[in-house]
Amino acid sequence: MIRIVFLVTGCIATIGSAAAPADDWPMWAGRADRNLVSPQRGLPESWDVEAGTNVKWTASVGTQTFGNPVIADGRVFIGTNNGNPREPDATGDKGVLMCFAERDGSFLWQAVHDKLPNPQDNDWPDVGITSTPAVVGDRVYYVSNDGKLVCADVEGFHDNDNDGPFDSEPRTGRTAADIVWQLDMVNELGVVPLHASASPPLVVDGLVFVVTGNGANPTEGVVPAPKAPSFIAVDAKNGKVVWQDMSPGDRILAGQWSSPAYGVVDGKPMVVFPGGDAWLYAFEPRTGKLIWKFNGRANETAEDGVYESINQLVATPVIHKNRVYIAVGQDPESGDGDGCLWSIDATKTGDISQTGQVWKRERRDFGRSISTVAIADGLLYAVELGGYLQCINVDTGEQYWRHDLMASVWGSPVVADGKVYVINEDGTVHIFAHNKEKKLLAENEMNDASHGTVAIANSTLFIVAGKKLFALNAKP
């Protein structure tokens, strides 16, 4: 169900191709295929946030942060709430995107967004901006709490220039955001979010891909806007919609809070969107033409179209060597339960719910998950919401080991420097050896709750816990 709205011209096709420095982490998962693996070396294995050991700097964010930091060209961006107001004329419950200097954590500027009119349903109180930004060149892209896809100047107003075409910023001081363009998905596209607009944008070859957040009514379970798009591709230069897809339609189970992934499979570029109907959809990036779709509940028995669970796709798909890997789950407030981790053959076409199955780990072998996997050297690391980290053979699905992290996990594992980093909800960072034999190297306490994932750039770990953003490195 594609509607082509605007054709991309060759003159803008390279916007999203601007390569970030190899040592940066410019988007969710650090890369377009969303595989949480970094080439960084010399990373810390231990630290003490109270004593300051291996702590490069800390910065104050909001009182709750559900997004993750990105690092690009000397700046750190993070979405949060307004629990720690930095502007005297911007107080109360709002969504905030903050920008800090990577060097020392000094505050540079912020974007502030008001709440939607019905926050209990569409923009949950005190959650703030949950979208992890994406940085390409001198532009940062994010989804605001009030359902806007925003493109902003990475310098804010530090360059004393109001980049357009958008020029109606309510604040234009040195610490204010310089918005270049914004697409109001609620008012312009008819999207009705459930609880949050959370998708981390994906920017590739001049296009911004995003899950709109269109959702179901929280009390009745009915989708109020079934014809509103669930997936869109937008011109990165001007914010015009290139194509949109409404495949989940009236079958959306709850919200749509995930993010797309991009990869080249068997020589064919594709962008893979996780739908709120528990289906995974792969499209041609330029046209929005469907390549294949996969039912994330294909392991369940359905009677008269009713499945055993209301599991959906909250995790982000990972594209790796012609396969796609993703786990099913639910809103984390629903708790733990039976899930399924899929390995899918992405070279197929059409409905590949049966033909595309390579392997699966399901039910008691793998619980619900909202986490993205990490794959390196034939090993796949995946986390269950209930707090179990698994190390799995990426080719066969065989489990090598499993570890109880002693608390729920909302974030995802990251592989770097021969280690696996994963944070539980209590704020304990577990560090394992990257190996098919289990070896726990260290446990480091952040001394506050954490719902995120470690970001890695320039030999430094970036972690949000409680009201603080930490930069950690191994000091000589």
The encoded tokens of residue 390 equal 């698994």
> In Å, how far are 3, 104, 155, 241, 282 from 289, measured between CA atoms?
10, 45, 36, 15, 9
Cα pseudo-dihedral 362, 397, 386, 272, rounded to 10: -80
Q: Go through 261-288 and write b for each residue having 16 or more CB atoms within 10 A of its CB, e for each that does not.
A: bbbebeeeebbbbbbbbbbbbbbebbeb
Q: Is the peptide bond before 165 cis (omega within 30 degrees of 0)?
A: yes
User: SS3 breakdown of the chain: % helix, strand, coil, rounded to 5?
Assistant: 5, 40, 55
Cβ atoms within 10 A of the Cβ of 445, count? 14
How many angstroms separate the most distant Cα atoms in the chain? Answer: 64
Question: For position 258, what pLDDT does the model report?
Answer: 96
What are the strands of the beta sheet with 323-327, ordered from one edge?
A: 318-320, 323-327, 338-345, 357-367
Residues 323/343, Cβ–Cβ less than 8 Å: yes
**What does 218-287 look like in DSSP terms, one character per residue?**
TTT---S-TTS-SEEEEETTT--EEEEE-TTGGG--S------EEEEETTEEEEEEE-TTSEEEEE-TTT
Identify residue 341 by its one-letter amino acid code.
L
* Number of residues that make up the chain: 476
Burial class (CB in 10 A: 0-12, 13-18, 19+), 305: exposed
Tens-binned pLDDT, residue by residue, of the chain (476 aa): 443 332 333 333 333 444 456 699 999 999 999 999 999 999 999 999 999 999 999 999 999 999 999 999 999 999 999 999 998 888 999 999 999 999 999 999 999 999 999 888 999 999 999 999 999 999 999 999 999 999 999 999 998 888 888 888 888 889 999 999 999 999 999 999 999 999 999 999 999 999 999 999 988 889 999 999 999 999 999 999 999 999 999 999 999 999 999 999 999 999 999 999 999 999 999 999 999 999 999 998 888 778 888 899 999 999 999 999 999 999 888 888 999 999 999 999 999 999 999 999 998 899 999 999 999 999 999 999 999 999 999 999 999 999 999 999 999 999 999 999 999 999 999 999 999 999 999 999 999 999 999 999 999 999 999 999 999 998 76
Burial of 303 per CB tally in 10 Å (0-12, 13-18, 19+): exposed
Cβ atoms within 10 Å, residue 118: 10
DSSP bridge pairs for 4: 243
Q: Which residue has the tokens 């499993």?
A: 402
Are 466 and 427 a contacting pair, CB within 8 Å?
yes
Q: What single DSSP character describes residue 45?
A: S
Q: What is the pLDDT of residue 232?
A: 98
Nearest in space to 231 (alpha carbons), one of 174, 180, 288, 187? 288
Q: How many CB atoms lie within 10 A of CB 106?
A: 10
Give the span between the Cα atoms of 227 and 59, in whole angstroms.
42
Looking only at the bridges linking them, the beta strands covering 75-81 and 318-320 are unpaired
Q: Which residue is it, tokens 């930091």?
A: 69
| 3-state class (DSSP) for residue 28 | helix
**Alpha carbon distance 29, 347 (integer Å):** 23
Q: How far is CA 61 from CA 64, 83, 94, 156, 380, in A?
A: 8, 8, 13, 18, 32
Residue 38 CA, distance from chain mean position: 16
Q: How far, rounded to the nearest angstrom, does the alpha carbon of residue 290 sit from its chain's CA centroid?
A: 22
